[in-house]
Amino acid sequence: MAVEDQVAVAPVQGAYFRKKLLRWHLDNARHFPWRETDDAYQILLAEVLLQRTQAPQVAERYKGILVAFPTVHALASAPLETIQDVLRPLGLAKRAITLKKMGEELVNRYDSRVPASVSKLMGLPGVGRYIATAAAVFAASAPYAVVDANVIRVLERFFGITSRKRRARDDAALWRTAELLVPRRRSAKYNRALIDFAAVVCRPRNPLCPECPLHERCTAVPTLVGRTS
């Protein structure tokens, strides 16, 4: 069913999805340094670095980047060449300009503080809806859905919904569907569970359907199992 036709999902199905996902995550959570803090700057910095970059790669360099730029002010005042040198091992030297501008904006507009508002975060250089939402959720447990292509894949497979938009991540109705699934008091745990599940089990290729805790009610299982058998 197209997501425009169904913004909500059945409450029973949604409750099953959340329960199974959170239970799976208790023993299968991935561990990264940016998950060990609620410092808004450190989380925002990590999310910018993670854009189109694998988490394990960022994890290898993340602590060193924090040593070089431990605060918003340190990032904003650092020479561009220094930021480029620090990011070069990750292949992200071109992202240095964006990071420096982001730091300067935080210093000049927000007194070196990271705003909690998603709309204000989206006004920062290099920060789109995904990064802004992730920063708000993981720094302050804001009750939002963190939606990217991997999360969309899980929702499409399990609930059998599809987007008619050319880019599903730009589909406002799909975002609303994702929002309805978020437990208001455990938004950070739920979103991390969904992100990890997409990376470890519900993978783009060769998903681990026989091991999936959701397979009993997943609408895509017959197709996926047949494809990978």
Band (pLDDT 50/70/90 cuts) for residue 1 is low
- The SS3 of residue 108 is helix
Sign of CA dihedral 175, 178, 182, 187: negative
pLDDT reading at 76 higher than 90:
yes
Instruction: Please tell me the predicted confidence (pLDDT) of residue 93.
Output: 94
pLDDT reading at 7 higher than 70:
no
- The SS3 of residue 90 is helix
- 145, 36, 33, 18: CA torsion to nearest 10: -30
Average pLDDT value for residue range 210-229? 79
Task: Quick: pLDDT tens for 144-154.
Answer: 999 999 999 99
Q: Where are the alpha helices (DSSP H) in the chain?
A: 11-28, 40-50, 55-68, 72-77, 80-87, 96-110, 118-121, 129-140, 149-159, 172-181, 187-200, 221-228
DSSP single-letter state for residue 112? T
- The SS3 of residue 199 is helix
Average pLDDT value for residue range 78-100? 96
Concatenating the DSSP letter of every residue in 60-77 gives HHHHHHHHHS-SHHHHHH
pLDDT reading at 6 higher than 50:
no
Answer for the pair 196, 29: CB distance below 8 angstroms, yes or no: yes
Domains contained in the chain, CATH given: 3-30+143-228 (1.10.1670.10), 33-140 (1.10.340.30)
pTM: 0.89
Answer for the pair 144, 179: CB distance below 8 angstroms, yes or no: yes
Task: Quick: pLDDT tens for 53-67.
Answer: 999 999 999 999 999
Concatenating the DSSP letter of every residue in 121-143 gives HTTSTT--HHHHHHHHHHHH--S
Average pLDDT value for residue range 119-148? 95
Of residues 39, 113, 40, 47, the one with CA closest to residue 76: 113
